[in-house]
Amino acid sequence: MNKIPYEYQTLPKCSRNYISNYGDLLQLTSMQPIQSDCFSTLLELQQPLTKHLDLNVRLFPSSARCARVSHHEASVKHAMIALGSAYKCLQLSNTAADRGYTLDRWNIVTIDQYIRSMSQLQKYTGEQRQENVIFTLICCLSFICLEILRDNRIAAYTHLKNGLNIIDGLPPFVFGFLNSPTATAEQTKAELQDTIKVFGRIEMFGCFYTPGFRPVVAIKAYNSRRFDDGSDMETLHNGEEAHFHANNYFRDIMSRCHETSAHFSDATFWSQPEEQKQQQALVIRAIKLANLFQSLAEATNAPQPGSNNFFCIQLDQLNICCAKILLERMDDCHLLDSHEAQLSRIPDTK
């Protein structure tokens, strides 16, 4: 019997249970047809997401970019193969021939590639080079998706936390691109920017489903615009720009919710001038955004009803309305009654 490596021991128990004999894994080493099939399956997984690119719901920074990285980075290659294999398992489990050798074989491939990827990532422990961080974060995203496909939510959450912890340790200059729809941080690789944005989207789910969840990317961005009241926003030129500002506002509200969660009904906290100033800025920005969205909807070049861009704008307006509710509920001491009166001026979404 071959010795089971440490990486296998660190897998979630629900994953380890798929393997009864580690020797089975070794028999699948370097099986090119299987790897090729996994990559083609991964492309199938990307297709339903790709058609919604303008809705900003991608799970990966770029499927093409990930594929390019996987050609020269073993950890990413194995993670991509593992994800493709997991999706293949899901497909097989929904067919008539869903039990037996074929499904077990793909499960073994999934775990094998999972282990290999984590083993390769060990060499980056403690390193802060952007390229290595990119490799690690892409693997984290693959593992998140893989565990969700297998309905292992706790394991997916663990990988999300690991990725966010890595992002949290990056230097401040890395996050400059988060504050403008057209900004590019020359010191931050495009791949890293894209990957951080994806984590920024996924962490919002953690905020709603996990008590005390800390939205790392959102907080990094909010720290640089704590007192932004939207006075610099004069107009929204298109749906993409509108989405950027609505998205940022909602994430700022989630960041604020996290940092004030321990001060519910704390009159001393809410009476502090700095806290009052932050709330006031968020209120004013909500009103400004709502009015700008109204102007965008009434413009001559407004998206046609029924189009993707039209629904995107509607969803962004709904986001602002939800953020308004969260903002109103933050202060249980009613010290912000004047702010709530201002919030009532936000036009209703039509």
Q: Are residues 45 and 152 in the same domain?
A: yes
* 203 and 247 part of one domain: no
Tens digits of residue pLDDT in 144-158 = 988 988 888 889 999
AA letter at 328: E
Nearest to 331 by CA among 321, 339, 323: 339
Residues 18 and 128 in one domain: yes
Which of 189, 220, 251 lies at the terminal end of a domain, its last residue? 220
Tell me, yes or no, whether 107 and 10 share the same domain: yes
Q: Are residues 176 and 43 in the same domain?
A: yes
Cα separation, 141 vs 130, whole angstroms: 16
Helix locations, 57-129, DSSP H: 63-72, 74-93, 101-121
How many angstroms separate the Cα of 342 from the Cα of each of 64, 174, 282, 319?
46, 36, 11, 18
Per the domain annotation, does 51 fall within a domain?
Answer: yes
pLDDT of residue 18: 38
Q: Are residues 66 and 210 in the same domain?
A: yes
Q: How many domains does the chain have?
A: 2
Tell me the per-residue pLDDT of 250-280, one tens digit each, with 9 for 90 and over.
999 999 999 998 888 888 888 899 988 999 9
Domain assignment present for residue 116? The answer is yes
- Whether residues 159 and 212 fall in one domain: yes
**Residue 230 covered by a domain:** no
pLDDT for position 344: 54
- The verdict on 37 and 139 lying in the same domain is yes
Does any domain span residue 232? no
Instruction: Identify whether 350 is part of a domain.
Output: no
Residues 243 and 150 reside in one and the same domain = no
Q: Which residue has the higher pLDDT, 12 or 177?
A: 177
pLDDT in tens, 88-114: 888 777 775 545 667 778 888 888 888
Domain boundaries, position 202:
6-220
Q: Are residues 209 and 250 in the same domain?
A: no
- From 220, 255, 284, the end of a domain falls on 220
Residues 300, 179, single domain; the answer is: no
Comparing 126 with 288, which gets the higher pLDDT?
288
What does the pLDDT read at residue 239?
Answer: 86
Same domain, 198 and 244: no
Average pLDDT estimate for 221-233: 89
Inter-axis angle of helices 74-93 and 130-149, nearest 10: 10
Please give the model's pTM, rounded to 2 decimal places: 0.76
117 in a domain, yes or no? yes
Mean pLDDT, all residues of the chain: 75
